[in-house]
Amino acid sequence: MPKILLYISAKIIWNFLFYNTDFNENRAHVHVGKRGMENLCKIWLEPNVEVAKQGDLTDAQLKEVFKITTDYREQLMRQWTLFKSGKTIRIIKVKK
C-alpha cells in the first residue's frame, strides 16, 4: 500500500494511499484514513472528485478529506500516473 500524501493538521494526520490491487483499476482514486482505521474512505479523482465510499469517517471528517482531495487533486493524479506506470512514488507531506 504505497502512501502518496501525508496531510498533517493540528487535529489529525490523514494518510492518502493506493492499494496494490488498485493497479488493475482504470479509474483514478485514492483511499483515505487515519492511523488504526480499518475501513478507509475511497474517493474518485476522475472525471471529477467524488466520494465512492465513506468508510469509517464521520460526515465532518469526510467533508475535510474531500476538501483536501479537491485541493491536491493535480498532485494526486500525478501520483496515480506514476503508480500505474510502475515508477517510484515519493510521499507528499503537507503540514497545516
The amino acid at residue 26 is N
Q: For residue range 51-86, what is the model confidence (pLDDT) as tens digits?
A: 999 999 999 999 999 999 999 999 999 999 999 998
Domain that holds residue 68: 3-95
Q: For residue range 26-38, what is the model confidence (pLDDT) as tens digits?
A: 899 999 999 888 8
Counting every residue, how long is the chain?
A: 96
The answer to whether the beta carbons of residues 68 and 7 sit under 8 Å apart is: yes
Which pairing describes strands 3-8 and 92-95: parallel, antiparallel, or unpaired?
parallel
Q: Is the peptide bond before 2 cis (omega within 30 degrees of 0)?
A: no
* Residue 79 grid cell: 501520483
Lowest pLDDT segment from 12-16, 21-25, 36-40, 74-78? 21-25
Domain tally for the chain?
A: 1
SS3 state of residue 68 = helix
Residue with cell 506506470: 85
